[in-house]
């Protein structure tokens, strides 16, 4: 949902401007007074009927216009965040199997709007292309699965194809591979300017592809993940641009990448092939750690059932505690995870992290499940004094009640 919605039912009374706009759009299709009088007697007064009439007008266009409208409306209905008009232009210009981006395949912004029967607008200031009103967004979220049954397949395929364009790889080749210096950042900015849909594709390709679509795009997913897992190729540079994959510096298994993005079906297929679910990367990362880091409970359950060791590599309990996901933390503890294990990257116990972040619920959970309050002495006997500076009085009291001293 991309609108600030008032606290009332959207279907009670349509806003006057919206009602007038769609009525004018309907009347604009008539060319004589008799037809207009007939239309005026039957104009809808409620929003669902108004939107149904607009959809009918979309359907009555020539096939090329209608096809473009359905794609625009489906993208705006399913997108996880607002899209700029340039992002949508790029997305609609890509077809499954493309290896390069063709600028001549982009559609003019005016056409993107005009074919949608008044349902779509472009904000002049932000250049965000969106549905005309928050009630329009709500309506399409209710009917999108029926109206656009193949939309998620289309979006998933476009996201993966865009990420694997040779053009993108060539731009990455031109960037500095040695860390995140100023030259690299300039190169990344240039890459995103040239390929504006890249940021959306990187962030949301996995949510769009998860589930049955993983089977449909099995070959493309495996190819993409394999190149991401390979050090020394340009796709390892693309991997750097995934801001939440910065801990993947060197070799990392394909199963770890699939786990991080919650691709449970893909990971299940890998497990059936006999992969080692406890494979540890050069940076002590396991697939289980990645699944917890991404907060994908189904993927965590699959790995644990396949024999993943909660103690292998870097402790997976750490990220579960840090993000406050107690369901995952309990799953790991019940599977043999040590709640008192120290993080390999900073040697701090997970209880320290929970206290420093002031998360009372997590601290209580950890102490109730065997966290050793004395482990805080490993850091400093003045730990209570340090967190008192953050005004975490209730945290301090909980620790004192469990025997902490400072």
Q: How confident is the model at residue 297 (pLDDT cuts 50, 70, 90)?
A: very high
Tens digits of residue pLDDT in 61-104? 999 999 999 999 999 999 999 999 999 999 999 999 999 999 99
Q: How confident is the model at residue 118 (pLDDT cuts 50, 70, 90)?
A: confident
Give the residue among 261, 145, 154 at the shortest CA–CA distance from 202.
261
Q: What burial letters (b/e) apply to 138-169, b meaning 16+ CB within 10 Å?
A: bbbeeebeeebeebbbbbbbbbbbbbbbebbb
C-alpha dist (Å) from residue 65 to 76, 96, 342: 17, 21, 60
- How far apart are the C-alpha atoms of 332 and 310, rounded to whole Å? 6
Q: How confident is the model at residue 167 (pLDDT cuts 50, 70, 90)?
A: confident
Is the predicted pLDDT of residue 14 greater than 60, yes or no?
A: no
Q: How confident is the model at residue 205 (pLDDT cuts 50, 70, 90)?
A: very high
Percent above pLDDT 90 for the chain: 43
Name the pTM for this structure. Answer: 0.80
Most confident of 10-19, 88-97, 341-350: 88-97
In the three-class reduction of DSSP (H, G, I as helix; E, B as strand; rest coil), residue 256 is classed as helix
Which residues have C-beta within 8 Å of that of residue 359, sequence separation ≥ 6?
324
Evaluate whether 191 touches 168 at the Cβ level (below 8 Å): yes
Evaluate whether 312 touches 278 at the Cβ level (below 8 Å): yes
* DSSP letter for each residue of 328-375: HHHHHHHTT--TTPBPTTT--BHHHHHHHTT-HHHHHHHHHTT--GGG
Domain-wise residue ranges, the chain: 1-85+106-148, 150-246, 247-338, 343-406
**Half-sphere CA count of 312, side-chain side, radius 13 A:** 18
Evaluate whether 61 touches 69 at the Cβ level (below 8 Å): yes
Instruction: Report the pLDDT value the prediction gives residue 307, as an integer from 0 to 100.
Output: 94
Tell me the two tokens of residue 222: 């495996």
Tell me the two tokens of residue 271: 């497990």
Tens digits of residue pLDDT in 31-46? 454 554 554 345 455 5
DSSP code of 316?
Answer: S
* DSSP letter for each residue of 213-237: HHHHTHHHHHHHHHHHH-TTSHHHH
- How far apart are the C-alpha atoms of 150 and 77, rounded to whole Å? 13
In the three-class reduction of DSSP (H, G, I as helix; E, B as strand; rest coil), residue 326 is classed as helix
What mean pLDDT comes out for the span 112-133?
93
In terms of CATH architecture, what is 247-338?
A: Alpha Horseshoe (1.25)
Evaluate whether 308 touches 270 at the Cβ level (below 8 Å): no
Evaluate whether 359 touches 324 at the Cβ level (below 8 Å): yes
Give the residue among 22, 89, 93 at the shortest CA–CA distance from 55.
22
Q: How confident is the model at residue 219 (pLDDT cuts 50, 70, 90)?
A: very high
Least confident of 149-153, 205-209, 353-357: 353-357
Bigger pLDDT: 405 vs 226:
226
- How far apart are the C-alpha atoms of 66 and 385, rounded to whole Å? 67
Instruction: Report the pLDDT value the prediction gives residue 174, as an integer from 0 to 100.
Output: 66
Q: How confident is the model at residue 246 (pLDDT cuts 50, 70, 90)?
A: very low
Give the residue among 248, 238, 243 at the shortest CA–CA distance from 285.
248
Percent above pLDDT 70 for the chain: 73
How many residues in total does the chain contain?
406
Q: How confident is the model at residue 150 (pLDDT cuts 50, 70, 90)?
A: very high
Instruction: Report the pLDDT value the prediction gives residue 239, as an integer from 0 to 100.
Output: 56
Is the predicted pLDDT of residue 177 greater than 80, yes or no?
A: no
The percent of the chain in helix, strand and coil, each rounded to the nearest 5, is 60, 5, 40
Instruction: Report the pLDDT value the prediction gives residue 210, as an integer from 0 to 100.
Output: 95
**Half-sphere CA count of 174, side-chain side, radius 13 A:** 11
Bigger pLDDT: 59 vs 229:
59
Instruction: Report the pLDDT value the prediction gives residue 378, as an integer from 0 to 100.
Output: 47
Tell me the two tokens of residue 80: 């996880």
Look over the chain and give the mean of its residue pLDDT values, rounded to a whole number.
80
Evaluate whether 349 touches 376 at the Cβ level (below 8 Å): yes
Instruction: Report the pLDDT value the prediction gives residue 394, as an integer from 0 to 100.
Output: 83
What mean pLDDT comes out for the span 292-297?
93
Evaluate whether 104 touches 63 at the Cβ level (below 8 Å): no
Triad 74, 77, 78: Cα angle to 5°: 90
Q: Are strands 83-84 and 128-131 parallel, antiparallel or unpaired?
A: antiparallel
Give the residue among 202, 201, 200, 191 at the shortest CA–CA distance from 169.
191
Instruction: Report the pLDDT value the prediction gives residue 8, as an integer from 0 to 100.
Output: 45
Instruction: Report the pLDDT value the prediction gives residue 24, as an integer from 0 to 100.
Output: 47
Instruction: Report the pLDDT value the prediction gives residue 32, as an integer from 0 to 100.
Output: 53
- How far apart are the C-alpha atoms of 347 and 350, rounded to whole Å? 9
Most confident of 43-52, 278-287, 375-384: 278-287
In the three-class reduction of DSSP (H, G, I as helix; E, B as strand; rest coil), residue 128 is classed as strand
Q: How confident is the model at residue 347 (pLDDT cuts 50, 70, 90)?
A: low
């Amino acid at each position: 949902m991309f609108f600030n919605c008032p606290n009332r039912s959207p279907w009670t009374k349509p806003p006057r401007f919206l009602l007038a706009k769609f009525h004018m759009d309907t009347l604009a299709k008539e060319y004589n007074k008799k037809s207009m009088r007939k239309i005026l007697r039957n104009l809808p007064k409620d929003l669902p009927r108004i939107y149904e009439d607009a959809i009918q007008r979309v359907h009555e266009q020539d096939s090329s216009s209608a096809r473009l409208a359905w794609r625009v409306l489906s993208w705006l209905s399913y997108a996880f965040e607002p899209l700029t008009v340039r992002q949508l232009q790029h997305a609609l210009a890509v077809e499954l199997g493309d290896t390069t981006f063709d600028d001549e395949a982009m559609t003019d912004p005016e056409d993107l709007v005009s074919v949608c029967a008044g349902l779509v607008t472009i904000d002049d200031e932000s250049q965000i292309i969106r549905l005309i009103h928050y009630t329009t967004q709500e309506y399409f979220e209710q009917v999108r699965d029926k109206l656009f049954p193949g939309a998620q397949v289309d979006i998933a395929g476009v996201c993966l194809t865009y990420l694997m364009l040779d053009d993108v790889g060539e731009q990455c080749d031109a960037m500095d591979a040695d860390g995140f210096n100023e030259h690299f950042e300039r190169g990344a900015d240039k890459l995103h300017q040239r390929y504006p849909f890249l940021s959306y594709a990187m962030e949301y390709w996995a949510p769009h592809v998860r589930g049955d679509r993983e089977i449909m795009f099995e070959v493309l997913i495996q190819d993409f993940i394999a190149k991401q897992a390979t050090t020394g190729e340009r796709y390892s540079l693309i991997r750097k641009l995934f801001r939440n994959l910065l801990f993947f510096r060197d070799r990392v298994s394909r199963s770890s990448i699939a786990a991080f993005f919650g691709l449970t079906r893909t990971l299940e297929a890998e497990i059936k092939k006999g992969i080692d679910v406890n494979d540890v990367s050069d940076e002590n990362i396991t697939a289980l750690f990645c699944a917890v880091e991404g907060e994908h409970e189904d993927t965590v359950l699959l790995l644990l059932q396949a024999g993943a060791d909660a103690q292998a590599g870097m402790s997976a309990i750490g990220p579960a505690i840090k993000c406050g996901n107690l369901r995952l933390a309990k799953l790991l503890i019940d599977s043999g995870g040590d709640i008192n294990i120290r993080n390999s990257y900073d040697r701090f116990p997970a209880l320290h992290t929970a206290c420093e972040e002031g998360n009372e619920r997590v601290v209580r959970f950890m102490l109730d499940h065997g966290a050793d309050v004395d482990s805080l002495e490993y850091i400093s006997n003045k730990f209570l004094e340090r967190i008192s500076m953050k005004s975490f009085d209730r945290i301090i009291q909980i620790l004192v009640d469990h025997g902490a001293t400072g």
